[in-house]
Amino acid sequence: MDFKERILTTMNHEEPDRVPVMGLIMDPATVNQINGKKPVDFVGMLKKPILKNIIGRLMNTNWFWRKIYNGNFSGSLEGALKLGFDANWVIYQLMKLYKEPESKLGMAFHDIYGRVWELDADDNGNLMVNYSRGLLTTEEQWHDWGEKNAPLFETSVKNATRFYRELTDQHGDRIYPFCYAAPGIFENSWQPIGFVNFTKFIYEKPEFVKKVIDFQTDLFIKHLDAALKAGLEVVVGGDDLGHKTGPLMRPELVEQLYGESYRRIADYVHERNKKLIWHSCGNIYQLLDKFIEWGFDGIITMEPTAGMDLGKVREQVGHKLVLIGNLDVSYLMVRGTQQEIEDAVKKAIKAAAKGGGYILSTCHSHPYVDATRLKWMVDAAIKYGKYPV
């Protein structure tokens, strides 16, 4: 079997020749490490007064953003190919640089949804970007933002459509790009507003919250459609609905606020004869049955440091969901030994791969995931993942 047959057979809960392996490679540090490239030290440049304005203006031009952003994910697919992965996710996001007095650089990214992202660099100068806070803490700010940035929403959808198509055209004959429409409607609802404010608004301003969720659902479907236009059989969406010990909201409240939106998203994908994988970090045992009810075809992450045990997940959902992930990135893929990684791969395959429906993967990515350890993971999957398992 080739990579595509392997993925699609697994998505149908049938046994391929071996367990497929999916990469979640996206951070510049990991991409550069695999491909042997030196990082572009944007943060270092932003610390220099003369370069700061030049880099700021360049970053805010659409052609330059596309060049840098698309180039990184093209590199991630090439890197995943070098390591032997069958698939790797690709995620589009549009951000602009703004002056930010609260930031240590004096500048930070704002995304189109109203989030602030702090810029930093690792020890080698690789860019790291992390969500910091929301800009839209009042209903008035949220409405003003939407009116002001309407053209950016359309630009983002157009860029995303081109992004997924180009990467699929360039790499799709050698690796399966899992086109991931992100962030999801839950994250886009609360993160620009802030979790405390948002949860207060649920009770104090329910009509406003409904307006926010409806708006984000419509916008998400546009980005999902951009991913679908790449022409692949499987797309990915996601929302981090859990924290380390359980859901961020009661499952009943998640259903009340978002159930209709999630069903709408799943129906939209299925009406086009495609399948939908849903990403969520955190402890999400209490939501697994909802994922099935909403119509998701699979889940990705199953974070072990949040208590997600792959065998227990398979026991709970059976073959109603394809499972992807569960290998640790807090220790295993940063400092783990080759033997520890082989043991983790064998354990995951034993827990979830029988009958198909399991794609081996890490539970997420971050700049300190080590390329050599990713290669050990792939090699172990090839060695121990042949069917029958």
pLDDT-derived band at 53 (thresholds 50, 70, 90) equals: confident
Q: What is the mean pLDDT of residues 129-140?
A: 96
Which of the four pLDDT bands, split at 50, 70 and 90, describes residue 55? confident
Closest CA to 127 of 58, 30, 50, 54: 30
* Owner of token pair 């330059």: 64
Alpha helices in 172-287 (DSSP H): 185-190, 195-204, 206-228, 251-270
User: Where does the pLDDT of residue 375 fall: very low under 50, low under 70, confident under 90, or very high at 90 and above?
Assistant: very high
Cα separation, 115 vs 67, whole angstroms? 22
pLDDT(50) > 90: no
Distance CA 348, CA 18 (A): 13
Domain 3-38+75-94+137-384 class in CATH: alpha beta
Parallel/antiparallel/unpaired status of strands 322-325 and 298-301: parallel
Query: What is the rounded distance in angstroms from the CA atom of residue 329 to the CA atom of residue 199?
Result: 30
Q: State the chain's mean pLDDT as an integer.
A: 97
In the prediction, which pLDDT does 262 show? 98
| The predicted structure's pLDDT at residue 103 | 87
Sign (positive or negative) of CA dihedral 268, 271, 8, 164: negative
Amino acid at 273: N
Closest to 232 measured CA to CA, from 297, 296, 165: 165
Q: Tell me the percentage of the chain whose pLDDT exceeds 90.
A: 93
| Per-residue pLDDT at 104 | 85
Write the burial class of residue 95 (CB in 10 Å: 0-12 exposed, 13-18 middle, 19+ buried): buried
Q: Provide the pLDDT confidence category of residue 49 given band limits of 50, 70 and 90.
A: confident
Condensed to tens digits (0 to 9), the pLDDT of residues 300-323 reads: 999 999 999 999 999 999 999 999
Q: What is the pLDDT of residue 259?
A: 98
**Cα distances (Å, whole numbers) of residue 85 to 132, 150, 315, 324, 376:** 32, 38, 27, 13, 11
Span 319-328, mean pLDDT? 98
- Token couple for 180: 């991931």
Q: Which of 50-64, 124-138, 319-333 has the lowest mean pLDDT?
A: 50-64
Dist CA 42 CA 129 (whole Å):
11
Q: Is 349 helix (H, G, I), strand (E, B) or coil?
A: helix
In this structure, are residues 117 and 183 in contact, taking their beta carbons and an 8 Å threshold?
Answer: no
Query: In 132-142, which positions are buried (b, 16+ CB within 10 angstroms) versus exposed (e)?
Result: bebbbbebeeb
**What digits encode the pLDDT tens for the residues 14-29?**
999 999 999 999 999 9
Give the domain ranges of the chain: 3-38+75-94+137-384
For residue 101, what pLDDT band results from cuts at 50, 70 and 90? confident
Give the lowest-confidence range in 47-51, 149-153, 180-184, 203-207.
47-51
Phi and psi angles of residue 129, each rounded to the nearest 5 degrees, phi first = -130, 125
> Which tens digit of pLDDT belongs to each residue from 246-300?
999 999 999 999 999 999 999 999 999 999 999 999 999 999 999 999 999 999 9
Q: Is the pLDDT of residue 102 over 90?
A: no
The stretch 178-183 carries a mean pLDDT of 97
pLDDT value for 78? 98
Beta strands in the chain (DSSP E): 22-23, 87-91, 95-99, 107-111, 115-121, 127-134, 176-180, 234-238, 275-280, 298-301, 322-325, 358-359
Q: Do strands 358-359 and 275-280 pair parallel, antiparallel, or not at all (unpaired)?
A: unpaired
Please compute the mean of the pLDDT values over residues 94-114 and round it to a whole number.
Answer: 92
HSE of 151 in the Cβ direction (CA atoms, 13 Å)? 2
